[in-house]
């Protein structure tokens, strides 16, 4: 299929990403795919022909941000700019987005990204055919032909009676009755995924932002259905990539000069190698070790791990392979067995602590971080206190804490005893204050120690370099004499000061 840019002047796009690392990496793949199609990425919405938002719906606030952004730039539609919503909000809200933001032309869930080029050709064709005939849109027939190559795409044709002699009924739905005159000139294209999709977004065209550290997706979707979480609905069923393709991508990255790889998935340790003879299929720990052994790769991280599937073999791999970083992110969500049960996490506090004990018994000092939700429906003060005692018991290196946010389709929506927002906010404050004290005390242990860091940035204002240790700690440092290392280099830094969220030190020369 020909690319959009081959038919005229180069088209430009602007892409803003909301949410987690999975979304950031999806955006890198979307950018690579569009650039390969002849598009050019630009820095501002004003410069762009096509404005894309890769969205997050994990909490209501994240979802609302997208609609605010769409409202902020709505007026640019009059200049012929087109708007697209990608990712989790797209998948969750589907065609309802067109009602709430009628200037949107494209809605595409993450498992349909491979078809984005086809969808954009379709959109472009429809636009071309409408040029010069704003009040009387022309036939979309060319587009319909293109769509026949992509059976999962739906074109919402605002003028079905005038297009393709009734073929619209077989490929799309009509929504024009709700649209005003101006809106009806828009063509709407959706690529929404079936939860049962087997598609992974594997592409050789990944436009990685950072030349030193990069992401590799190893598993997509989620089958865990925690009671509060939209991910199983927005990202579809769990599906793993083959270990062969993951390793090929890791080797390719090493050849390009990357030294750090982060393996990504909603639950990386639920990984199941889908191909090869049973004996040659790799477990997650084996895949992790194999990526850590790729020549040229100095650091491997992985996120996120689910406590239920966290085995001792992961700790053994970290012990055995020097390139695997001393850091595990293991979300606990709550310290109360009753709340964990209501959340459908399928592990107990004791089982979680057992996994912490495995890590503490390892040969290396593994930094442990977690996610916590406060104010899940029915969480009592005593149950919240159990989360606080869990913090004391584990003494996490860092936590990401959230107020429970009710999400569409999730089982927790029907639970009674919602906690008022100001009480959730109070619990969040208490939790964060307690964790801050733990981090201040914990970070003092690093004073005088030497860490290897990868240099991530230089801050000229402060004449300071920003490094990250294997334990994922930010270490800001000065270089005696002023000549510091280059971004992407590895350096030894002695820690001379500590703060709740970072360390500071001096380059060892």
Applying CB under 6 A, which residues contact ligand SF4? 222, 224-226, 229, 231-232, 266-267, 306
Q: How far is the CB of 463 from ligand SAM (least distance, A)?
A: 36
Q: Which helix (H) or strand (E) holds 318?
A: helix 312-320
If contact means CB under 5 to 8 A according to the sort of partner, which of ligand SF4, ligand SAM, none does residue 404 touch? ligand SAM
If contact means CB under 5 to 8 A according to the sort of partner, which of ligand SF4, ligand SAM, none does residue 20 touch? ligand SAM
C-beta closer to ligand SF4: residue 334 or 439? 334
Residue 373 found at the interface with ligand SAM (CB under 6 A): yes
C-beta closer to ligand SF4: residue 124 or 306? 306
If contact means CB under 5 to 8 A according to the sort of partner, which of ligand SAM, ligand SF4, none does residue 438 touch? none
Contact string 288-307 vs ligand SAM (x = CB under 6 A): ----------------x-x-
Q: How far is the CB of 241 from ligand SF4 (least distance, A)?
A: 17
If contact means CB under 5 to 8 A according to the sort of partner, which of ligand SAM, ligand SF4, none does residue 366 touch? none
Query: Segment contacting ligand SAM (CB under 6 A): 72-80, 88-96, 135-143, 226-234?
Result: 226-234
> Which residues, numbered 17-36, are part of the site for ligand SAM (CB under 6 A)?
20
User: Using the 8-state DSSP alphabet, how is residue 294 labeled?
Assistant: S
Q: How far is the CB of 342 from ligand SF4 (least distance, A)?
A: 13
Contact criterion met (CB below 8 Å) for 288 and 263:
yes
Interacting residue with ligand SAM among 90, 229, 264, 507 (CB under 6 A): 229
> Which residues, numbered 58-97, are part of the site for ligand SAM (CB under 6 A)?
58-59
Question: Cα 409 vs. chain centroid, distance in angstroms?
Answer: 20
Question: What is the C-alpha to C-alpha distance for residues 129 and 237, in angstroms, rounded to an integer?
Answer: 38
Point out which residues pair with 451 in neighbouring strands. 493
If contact means CB under 5 to 8 A according to the sort of partner, which of ligand SF4, ligand SAM, none does residue 329 touch? none
For 253, phi then psi, to 5°, come to -65, -40
Residue 282 found at the interface with ligand SAM (CB under 6 A): no
Q: How far is the CB of 494 from ligand SF4 (least distance, A)?
A: 38
Query: What is the dihedral sign for C-alpha 97, 267, 293, 487?
Result: positive
Contact criterion met (CB below 8 Å) for 498 and 443:
yes
Point out which residues pair with 53 in neighbouring strands. 16, 85
The answer for residues whose C-beta is within 8 angstroms of residue 246's C-beta and 6 or more apart is 216, 218, 263, 287, 291
User: Using the 8-state DSSP alphabet, how is residue 324 labeled?
Assistant: B
Question: What is the C-alpha to C-alpha distance for residues 231 and 206, in angstroms, rounded to an integer?
Answer: 23
Q: Count residues binding ligand SAM (CB under 6 A).
A: 18
Question: Cα 28 vs. chain centroid, distance in angstroms?
Answer: 11
Query: Segment contacting ligand SAM (CB under 6 A): 224-232, 382-390, 444-452, 472-480?
Result: 224-232
> Which residues, numbered 453-482, are part of the site for ligand SAM (CB under 6 A)?
none
Start-to-end C-alpha separation, the chain: 55
Residue 404 found at the interface with ligand SAM (CB under 6 A): yes
The residue among 201, 229, 274 whose CA lies nearest residue 92 is 229
Locate 335 and state its tokens: 């310290």
Task: Count Cα neighbours of 508 within 13 Å in the Cβ-side half-sphere.
Answer: 13
If contact means CB under 5 to 8 A according to the sort of partner, which of ligand SF4, ligand SAM, none does residue 232 touch? ligand SF4
C-beta closer to ligand SF4: residue 405 or 439? 405
User: Using the 8-state DSSP alphabet, how is residue 328 labeled?
Assistant: E
Question: What is the C-alpha to C-alpha distance for residues 195 and 271, in angstroms, rounded to an integer?
Answer: 18
Q: Write out the residues near ligand SAM by the rule CB under 6 A.
A: 20, 58-59, 228-229, 231, 266-267, 304, 306, 331, 333, 371, 373, 402, 404-405, 407
């Amino acid at each position: 299929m020909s690319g959009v840019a081959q038919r005229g002047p180069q088209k430009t796009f602007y892409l803003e990403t909301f949410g987690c690392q999975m979304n950031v990496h999806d955006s890198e793949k979307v950018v690579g795919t569009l650039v390969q199609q002849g598009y050019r990425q630009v820095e501002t919405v004003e410069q762009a022909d096509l404005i894309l938002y890769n969205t997050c719906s994990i909490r209501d606030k994240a979802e609302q941000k997208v609609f605010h952004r769409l409202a902020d730039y709505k007026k640019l539609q009059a200049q012929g700019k087109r708007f697209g919503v990608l990712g989790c909000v797209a998948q969750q809200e589907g065609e309802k987005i067109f009602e709430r933001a009628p200037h949107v032309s494209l809605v595409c869930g993450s498992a349909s990204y491979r078809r984005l080029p086809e969808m954009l050709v379709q959109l472009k064709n429809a636009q071309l055919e409408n040029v010069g005939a704003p009040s009387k849109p022309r036939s979309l027939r060319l587009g319909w032909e293109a769509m026949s190559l992509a059976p999962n795409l739906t074109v919402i044709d605002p003028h079905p009676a005038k297009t393709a002699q009734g073929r619209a009924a077989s490929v799309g739905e009509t929504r024009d009755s709700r649209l005003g005159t101006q809106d009806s000139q828009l063509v709407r294209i959706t690529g929404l995924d079936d939860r049962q999709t087997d598609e992974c977004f594997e592409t050789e065209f990944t436009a990685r932002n950072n030349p030193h550290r990069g992401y590799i997706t190893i598993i997509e979707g989620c089958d865990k259905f925690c009671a509060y979480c939209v991910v199983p609905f927005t990202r579809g069923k769990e599906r793993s990539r083959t270990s062969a393709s993951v390793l090929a991508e890791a080797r390719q990255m090493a050849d390009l000069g990357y030294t750090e790889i982060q393996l990504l998935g909603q639950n990386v340790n639920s990984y199941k190698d889908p191909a090869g003879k049973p004996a040659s299929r790799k477990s997650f720990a084996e895949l992790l070790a194999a990526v850590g052994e790729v020549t040229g790769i100095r650091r491997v991280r992985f996120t996120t791990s689910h406590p239920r599937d966290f085995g001792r073999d992961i700790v053994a791999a970290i012990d055995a392979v020097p390139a695997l970083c001393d850091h595990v992110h293991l979300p606990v969500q709550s310290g109360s067995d009753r709340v964990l049960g209501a959340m459908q996490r399928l592990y107990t506090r004791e089982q979680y602590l057992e996994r912490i004990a495995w890590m503490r018994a390892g040969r290396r000092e593994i930094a442990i971080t977690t996610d916590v939700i406060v104010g899940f429906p029915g969480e009592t003060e005593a149950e919240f206190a159990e989360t606080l005692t869990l913090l004391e018991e584990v003494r996490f290196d860092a936590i990401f804490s959230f107020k429970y946010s009710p999400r569409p389709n999730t089982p927790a929506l029907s639970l009674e005893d919602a906690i008022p927002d100001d009480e959730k906010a109070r619990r969040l404050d208490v939790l964060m204050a307690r964790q801050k004290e733990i981090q201040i005390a914990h970070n003092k242990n690093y004073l005088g120690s030497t860490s290897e860091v990868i240099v991530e940035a230089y801050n000229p204002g402060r004449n300071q370099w920003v490094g990250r240790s294997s334990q994922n700690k930010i270490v800001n440092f000065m270089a005696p004499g002023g000549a510091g290392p280059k971004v992407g280099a590895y350096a030894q830094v002695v820690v001379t000061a500590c703060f709740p969220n970072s360390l500071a030190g001096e380059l060892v020369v």
